[in-house]
Structure formats: structure tokens, C-alpha cells
Structure 1
């Protein structure tokens, strides 16, 4: 698509800026729609906002997979999930009133975290298993899709008929309807759809630029995907999460991150389907498992933090946030050293 390295870098930078700009607007519109539709912050973050903020990942990963770049595709989506979890640690730093996981406590977010651990284990099992495929698709791919859909059912049930409730404290911020934006509901939906289209297109442009950058700089697809494109395509999650926190929509902020990572498992399934060389799981380098294992480790750490509900940590940062930031830094060092 791009004829020179300079053009690719410029396109990559512009696409990144577009994704960040659209993401900041998404949180505002999503908060309004969550209230107006009656879904609430948690369910709207899971079912709609998560899918929209994942569009850059979806477009970028599928583009790389269809172009027979398995390492670039998988490192992008796996690296994005790890980056998204780091964003919760950053969000905890931004929210100074208390530990974010304490203030945004809900049974829905706990169920999401548990679901994410289950989903993350499935592609890792496929990578470690013998090279088996049917019509070029690994049997674990439809399992991922079925597990995701059943998991959403469990999340919806947990939200509508919770069997336990978090203890309310002065620092707990419940999901309450806020002030609506100017204009009607139709205008809000149109804005939401338009922003979704813009972020998706920007994600595709981003990956096209990344391919040229990887080819002409000599950097590995693993490094380009796991670091540069992963952080760029994940920027909507960071922007929407910080924007939601500033609007005091804490449940939306947390559910968006976990919901996005769960949705990204469908991105992995789509990459396996779109990959022309058979099952994508068996054509990637072993280092790709690092991001998946690290994401499981960080998700489990956040899950413990949500159960423990520490009100204040050192510097008003929860112990789980400090741990996931440390784990990510170590994982990033390993990936950079490997390629």
C-alpha cells in the first residue's frame, strides 16, 4: 500500500493520532448511551464499547493474517491484550481518590476477569498441541467462539441476578446515570457508529504501515507487532478508560478493558480463519506464547486485587497495579531481547 518507509511512518503516525482522538470521544458517547439505553456501564462496556475499541486490533490483525504474516498478527493482538491490562494500572495511578479496583468493585468485573483467563488459555493450548486443522482451521477456534458467547451469557446473568454483592464503602463508586449530551438518542448512536468506522479504518492503515516499517527497517514482526502496533491499536482503550474515569464512570472504565480483551479472543479466531497457510497457531514462533502467559498472569493478579479490595496502597496505587506494571516491563524486555 505504501511505496516508501517515510510514507509508511507518516501513515502510521497519522493513524495512531486518529485512533487516540476518536477514542477520547468514544468514552463520552458510550457513557451517555449506557445511561439512555438502560444497559448500564458494565454491560455497555462489555457488549458495545469493547467491540468498538477492538476494531483497530481486529482490522490490523486480520490484515496481517491474510497477508501471511502470522507473527505480526498474533503479536499485535496478544501484545494489545497485555497493554490493555497495563492501562488499568495506569488508570489506577490517574484515579487518586482510592484504589481503582476497590472503587469499581462489581460481580460483573470479577466474572469478566475469570472468563478472560479461560479464554486466554485456549489459544495457548492450540499452540502447544500437535499441528491439527480442519479446512485450514484449528479445532480450538470454534471452541474459542463458543466459550466467548457462553461467557457473555454468564456475565449477563451475573449482572442481572448477582449472587453476591461487594461491600459498599465510602470509596465505592456505583453506576449512576449522569447528564446527557445535547441532542437525541439517534444522534448519539450515529456518533458512536461513525467513531467505530473511523477507528476500524485507522487500524487497517496502521497495520499496512507497520508491514512496510518491518520489511524496510529489519525489525522483526514480533517486535513491531508486540510493541509498536499493539500499543497504537490499544490506544482507544487507554483514552476511553482515562476519559471514563474523569467522568466518574469507573465501572465503564474497568469493564471496557476486560470486555475488550475478551472480544480480542474473537480477533484471534478470525485470524486463524483468515490465515491462508492453514492453522495460524502452528506457524508462529514460541515467543508469542509470552504475551499470552503474561496476560494470564496479569489478569489473575488484577482478579486477586478486586477480591482483596485494598483501599489505598503505596502512593495510593493498589498492589495489583504495581505488580502488573512490573510484570509488563519484564515481559517487554524479554520480547525486545528476543528480536
Structure 2
């Protein structure tokens, strides 16, 4: 048990180190080749922050741990809103830009509803079981493509000349760090999946619950760090935009890729988690449109955090 816990922690360290190293090296290489900052930010950096969830899900899907696949995505999204935004709003009230208010927050809510629809085969089609099929995965990826194009259009219209800080690596050094980053991602993802499955068996919790709690929180650490740093620097819009964008990425891209690789059998209990994810998105939408201005106040952050504690307690009990 102790060895598996150490392997799990080591997996998270390797995973996050690999993601950061890969982002820095790939961004440096892209900048050296003349790729605009806007494209680097919306592709390499965005994909890099979602790399932990993606790698863990690919390993979980290919090893047959499908409960962990959906659990990681839903758990990350629920933790992002209720946990990360809860902590961030307690530190400083979060203001929201118009685009995030009118487009990205509703789109994040729509993504959650999409999962409910594609995972409700028993209710909608009278099927023997719920399944996210390869065709469902491809549909999610098509939604992701639309979201990516939208981001490019918005970013270009909002200031394409803004420069982004990148590491100044030589080509050889950048390639070496890219390989090192990929190795860290692969090693970390493998360690997390195998040790999490072992821990679940030892303590008697399901892979679904482990995925919804331990694994999802671990893979969301980059978003947590980014949001807290942004709030401390009073860049509060970055904090909420980071979380909402990550949630859209998780469902449309990561779950889309996972479902395309291997069709995912859906545990009936996961419908509750899907509903909690939708409720968290709906709560964010309501909080933004209540009170003074487009803000998430401190007391609303406390509601988020208490809601997350209650949800995790329910899962464990």
C-alpha cells in the first residue's frame, strides 16, 4: 500500500514535470520557427495544461479501466469549478469578461449536457447499457474543433500582436527537452493508472471513486497553481477563464480522444457524477449573473468549496 502511494505521488510529479517541460520546449521551438504567440498560446500551452488528464486517460482506456477515464474527466471538471474557483474566490472575488460570460461559461455547461446525452443510452434508446462509442467520441472532437476555431478568432480580434514569454532554447536543447517531457508524461501516466488501480483494490474503493477524487485532483494541479498565482497577481479573469477553458477541453478533447480510442462502458453510478458536473456549471452560470457586476463573490466561493467537500464525502461514504 505504501509503495503504491509513493508510486502515485511519483507519477504526479513526473506527469506535471513532463507537461511543463514539454510546454516550455515546444513553445521555445515554435517561437524560434516564427510561429505567432497567439498560436503558441492556444495550441501548445493549452494542450500542455491538459496533457496530464489526456495521458492518464489514454493509459486508463487502453488498460480497460474505463470507470477511471470518465471519473478523471468529470472529477477534474467538478474540482475545477467547486474546488479551484472556490479557493480562488475566497482569496479574491473573481470578475468575468464578456466573452467568458456569454460564450465560454454556457459552452462549458453545454459540454456537460452533451456528456449526459451521449451517456444515457438506456434511457434514450432502451439499450442494455450506457456506452460512449467511437462515434460519440468523434462528435465530441468535432465540437472541440469548433471551440478551437472560435478561440483563434477571438484571440486575433483581441490583439494578435501581444507577445508571449517563451524559453530561449537552442533547437537541439528544445528537442531534447521535448523528448524528456514526453518521457515524463508517459512514465507519470503509467504510474498513476497502475498504482491508483492497486490502491482502489486494497482500500475497497471503486476505480470510479479513485478517478473522481485522487486522480482528478492530481491531474488538475496545473490549473490550481495557475489560478492561485493569477489571483495573487489580481489577474482574476485569468483564473476563471483558465478553469472554464480547461473544462471545455476535458470534455470535448480528452473525453473525445478517450472514446475514440476505446468505447467506454458507463457505470450507472456515473450518471450522478455527470449531474453534479452539470449542477456545478449551472451554479457558476447563476453566480455570475447575480449580485453586482459579473463576479463570483467570496461567499459564493465558500458555497463552491462546501459543495465540493460534501460531494467528496458522499463519494467516500
TM-score when normalising by structure 1:
0.73
User: Could you tell me which of 269, 273, 292 is aligned with 1:287?
Assistant: 269
Is it true that 1:272 corresponds to 2:259 in the alignment?
A: yes
Deviation for aligned residue 1:25: 8.6
* Cα pair 1:132 1:138 within 8 Å, conserved: no
Query: What is the aligned partner in structure 2 of residue 326 from structure 1?
Result: 306
Inter-partner Cα distance in structure 2 for 1:243 and 1:191: 29
Q: Do the aligned partners of residues 205 and 182 (structure 1) sit closer, same or farther apart at CA in structure 2, a change above 3 Å counting?
A: closer
Inter-partner Cα distance in structure 2 for 1:262 and 1:193: 26
Query: What is the aligned partner in structure 1 of residue 71 from structure 2?
Result: 75
Q: Which runs of 5+ in 1 are unaligned?
A: 163-175
Deviation for aligned residue 1:253: 2.9
Inter-partner Cα distance in structure 1 for 2:152 and 2:308: 30
Inter-partner Cα distance in structure 2 for 1:334 and 1:260: 25
User: Could you tell me which of 212, 234, 237 is aligned with 2:223?
Assistant: 237
Equivalent positions of 1:38-117 (< 5 A) are 38-39=37-38, 44=41, 47-85=43-81, 86-94=83-91, 96=92, 99-100=93-94, 102=95, 104-108=96-100, 110-117=102-109
* Cα pair 1:241 1:256 within 8 Å, conserved: yes
Deviation for aligned residue 1:187: 11
Query: What is the aligned partner in structure 1 of residue 316 from structure 2?
Result: 336
Is it true that 1:141 corresponds to 2:137 in the alignment?
A: yes
Inter-partner Cα distance in structure 2 for 1:251 and 1:21: 26
Alignment RMSD (CA, Å): 4.0
- CA-to-partner distance for each residue in 1:9-68, whole Å, 9 max, x for gaps? 21111223445667789999999999x95439xx93x54433212211111122122111
User: Could you tell me which of 188, 191, 196 is aligned with 1:205?
Assistant: 191
Q: Do the aligned partners of residues 132 and 195 (structure 1) sit closer, same or farther apart at CA in structure 2, a change above 3 Å counting?
A: farther
Query: What is the aligned partner in structure 2 of residue 263 from structure 1?
Result: 249
Q: Do the aligned partners of residues 62 and 132 (structure 1) sit closer, same or farther apart at CA in structure 2, a change above 3 Å counting?
A: farther
- CA-to-partner distance for each residue in 1:203-249, whole Å, 9 max, x for gaps? 33212211221233332112211111111111121112222333444
Deviation for aligned residue 1:320: 3.6
* Cα pair 2:136 2:259 within 8 Å, conserved: no
Q: Do the aligned partners of residues 14 and 109 (structure 1) sit closer, same or farther apart at CA in structure 2, a change above 3 Å counting?
A: farther
* SS of equivalent to 2:97: coil
Query: What is the aligned partner in structure 1 of residue 211 from structure 2?
Result: 225
Inter-partner Cα distance in structure 2 for 1:224 and 1:260: 20
- CA-to-partner distance for each residue in 1:94-149, whole Å, 9 max, x for gaps? 3x3xx11x2x424146422221111221221122123499xx93432222111121
Inter-partner Cα distance in structure 2 for 1:59 and 1:121: 24
Inter-partner Cα distance in structure 2 for 1:106 and 1:196: 36
Q: Do the aligned partners of residues 229 and 244 (structure 1) sit closer, same or farther apart at CA in structure 2, a change above 3 Å counting?
A: same
Inter-partner Cα distance in structure 1 for 2:5 and 2:72: 17
Inter-partner Cα distance in structure 2 for 1:108 and 1:185: 37
* SS of equivalent to 1:39: helix
